[in-house]
Amino acid sequence: MSVGLLTKLLGKKEEISHQPIELRTEASIQQWLVTRIAGIAQIGPEEVDMDRPFAEFGMDSMQLFELSGDLQKFLGHDVSEIVAWDYPTIAKLSSYLSSPESLVPAGETVVPEELAGMTLDPQATEPQR
Amino acid sequence: MSTVSTMRKPIATARDGMRLQRLVAFLVMAMPITGTGVAIYLIVRNGIGVVEIASFLFMYLVTMGGMTIGLHRYFAHRSFETGPRMRVALAILGSMSTQGPLLSWVTIHRKHHAFSDRPGDPHSPHVHENKVFGMLNGLWHAHIGWMFTENSADWSFSRDLMGDRKLFWVHRTYLYWVALSFLLPAVLAGGLTRSWSGAALGFLWGGLVRCFVVNQASWCVGSICHYFGTRRFDTHDHSANNYTVAVFTFGEGLQNNHHAFPSAARHGLRWWEPDLSGTLIWLLSAVGLVWNRYHPSDESIEKLRKAA
């Protein structure tokens, strides 16, 4: 198990989020991500395209999940588990994580309606049986 | 995401993960088939007894119920609500059905609905990637073949579940729950009969034979039920209500009803349509373990019905 996963599973969110937080700069987050992605894709850092989706570097869902744990450790504050899906490129992710909105605790993740196949029906009831 | 970047080929793909997944998929198929062969041989030689039947029925109820109520109607479609303990229990029982780790199962199933019988559907008998299937090839792919091509390392459609650490733990420990589904019937049957032969029969019937029948029945939902059966609703796919499959899969064989109303807690829309899981969910709600079951109104059911 990697450090990122352990941080994610064992880390205590409460303790981290109560400490005073200083945002890192976009450039430093970019550099950190480029190094990480270059290591995963086994290419040189200069070959990493910042507008290319993470999936195209061969990252699977486990690696995207672990990335959020490693980012949490690097940044020193809580990072959503699904941040790499919401911001799927280095450019988008570093821009988001260097902005103050990334410090606002995320609400509960809702199921996108089209994914769960939910039919919105105002007259919906509970079935009788 | 720019259009240029989507045109290019990925630098790397998760090949090693696929190799392991194919091995697991092979074992999940080969071991139950072997065990079922042994069980048939033993029936011919010794006949069949109450230990065998009870082990099979008990574990079939637990695992098919876990898959259909837990993985399918709760986690993939959120057709009812429940508390944190029941969430974990449903995830564990669903994992014991050997149909795949939680996050992967939910992603594959939501893709099946998002792209039903169109390119992108992980297990359609009609189309896969750019291939349009003939009937036998299609049924083979939708029944078993997809297990070797679909990548379970993708959880992109399960993001709403990733933040729950207990659920993530159940996902990560998937293989232990699969192991439990074979050990539990052995321990129960061995303990109740106080014999090693009872434990062996429990393992064989509650483990291997049960796994074989659960696999075949649930794969029939993706293959048979997108080919053979009645279509009450015009759902823009090939989903059909097949009552035989519905009996074995506790209601999931009512695919046409389900694709018309994916988040309905009951798949059976008429009283006589076989839907054991729908009834079990009602029982769970009657004792207060689940609540807010979703059911479409009569008006919207009538509106979606095919013009006769």
Does A57 sit within 8 Å of B12, measured CB to CB?
Answer: yes
CA atoms of A64 and B28, how far apart (whole Å): 27
Confidence of residue B3 (pLDDT cuts 50, 70, 90): very low
CB B171 within 8 A of CB B102: yes
Which residues lie across from B128 on neighbouring strands? B131
**B104, B160, B164, B277: best mutation site toward chain A, by most A Cβ within 10 Å?**
B160
Element (H, E) at A11: none
- Alpha-helical runs (H) found in A42-121: 61-75, 83-86, 90-97, 113-116
Asked if residue B221 has pLDDT above 60, the reply is yes
Instruction: Check CB contact of A126 with chain B, cutoff 8 Å.
Output: yes
What's the pLDDT tens digit per position in B110-168?
A: 999 988 998 889 999 998 877 788 889 999 999 988 888 877 888 888 988 988 989 99
Confidence of residue B18 (pLDDT cuts 50, 70, 90): confident
What's the pLDDT tens digit per position in B74-92?
A: 999 999 999 999 999 999 9
Chain A residues with beta carbon closer than 8 angstroms to that of B6: 53
Structural domain spans, chain A? 22-102
Query: Poorest-confidence range of A57-61, B144-148, B232-236, B288-292?
Result: B144-148
Instruction: Check CB contact of A32 with chain B, cutoff 8 Å.
Output: no
pLDDT by residue, tens only, chain A of 129 residues: 566 676 666 655 544 545 567 889 999 999 999 999 999 999 999 999 999 999 899 898 999 999 999 999 999 888 988 899 989 999 999 999 999 888 877 666 666 555 555 544 545 566 666
Chain B residues with beta carbon closer than 8 angstroms to that of A62: 153
Report, as an integer, the average pLDDT of B24-29: 81
Quote the DSSP letter at residue B290. Answer: E
Chain B residues with beta carbon closer than 8 angstroms to that of A42: 12
Report, as an integer, the average pLDDT of B205-232: 96
Instruction: Check CB contact of A91 with chain B, cutoff 8 Å.
Output: no
- The pTM of the full predicted model, rounded to 2 decimals, is 0.85
The closest CB to that of B159, out of A43, A51, A85, belongs to A85
Angle at B217 between CA B19 and CA B277, to 5 degrees: 115
Instruction: Check CB contact of A62 with chain B, cutoff 8 Å.
Output: yes
Report, as an integer, the average pLDDT of B27-31: 85
Q: Distance (Å) from the C-alpha of residue A59 to the closest C-alpha of chain B?
A: 7
CATH of A22-102, one of 3.40.50.720, 1.20.120.80, 2.60.200.20, 1.10.1200.10: 1.10.1200.10
Return the top range by mean pLDDT from A95-104, B20-29, B91-100: B91-100
Percent of chain B with pLDDT over 90: 73
Does A42 sit within 8 Å of B162, measured CB to CB?
Answer: no
Instruction: Check CB contact of B73 with chain A, cutoff 8 Å.
Output: no
Chain B residues with beta carbon closer than 8 angstroms to that of A53: 1, 5-6
Q: What dihedral angle (degrees, nearest 10) is formed by the CA atoms of B194, B187, B65, B155?
A: -170
Asked if residue B4 has pLDDT above 50, the reply is no
Contacts of residue B35, defined as CB under 8 A and 6 or more positions apart, other chains included, come to B204, B207, B208, B209, B211, B212
pLDDT computed for residue A7 by the predictor? 64
Q: Distance (Å) from the C-alpha of residue A9 to the closest C-alpha of chain B?
A: 6
Does B154 sit within 8 Å of A116, measured CB to CB?
Answer: no
Query: Poorest-confidence range of B118-122, B228-232, B241-245?
Result: B118-122
Report, as an integer, the average pLDDT of B278-301: 94
Instruction: Check CB contact of B5 with chain A, cutoff 8 Å.
Output: yes
CA atoms of B67 and B248, how far apart (whole Å): 13
**DSSP letter for each residue of B118-138:** STT-TT-SSEETTEEPPHHHH
B264 to A112, B90, B279: CA distances (angstroms): 16, 18, 13
Instruction: Check CB contact of A65 with chain B, cutoff 8 Å.
Output: yes
pLDDT computed for residue B304 by the predictor? 85
ipTM of the complex in this document: 0.73
CB B246 within 8 A of CB B274: yes
pLDDT computed for residue A123 by the predictor? 56
What's the mean pLDDT when you consider all of chain B? 90
Does B160 sit within 8 Å of A111, measured CB to CB?
Answer: yes
CA atoms of A97 and A26, how far apart (whole Å): 7
CA atoms of B61 and B40, how far apart (whole Å): 21
Q: Write out the two tokens for B73.
A: 């109607």
pLDDT computed for residue A118 by the predictor? 52
Structural domain spans, chain B? 50-178+210-304
Identity at A16, one-letter amino acid code: I
What's the pLDDT tens digit per position in B252-287?
A: 999 999 999 999 999 999 999 999 999 999 999 999
Report, as an integer, the average pLDDT of B97-110: 94
Judged by phi (left if over 0) then psi (alpha if -120 to 50, else beta), residue B229 lies in left
Closest alpha carbon within chain B to A89: B1
pLDDT computed for residue B56 by the predictor? 98
Q: Distance (Å) from the C-alpha of residue A117 to the closest C-alpha of chain B?
A: 5
pLDDT computed for residue B150 by the predictor? 78
Asked if residue B15 has pLDDT above 60, the reply is no
Does B292 sit within 8 Å of A60, measured CB to CB?
Answer: no
pLDDT computed for residue A43 by the predictor? 92
pLDDT computed for residue B152 by the predictor? 80
pLDDT computed for residue A120 by the predictor? 46
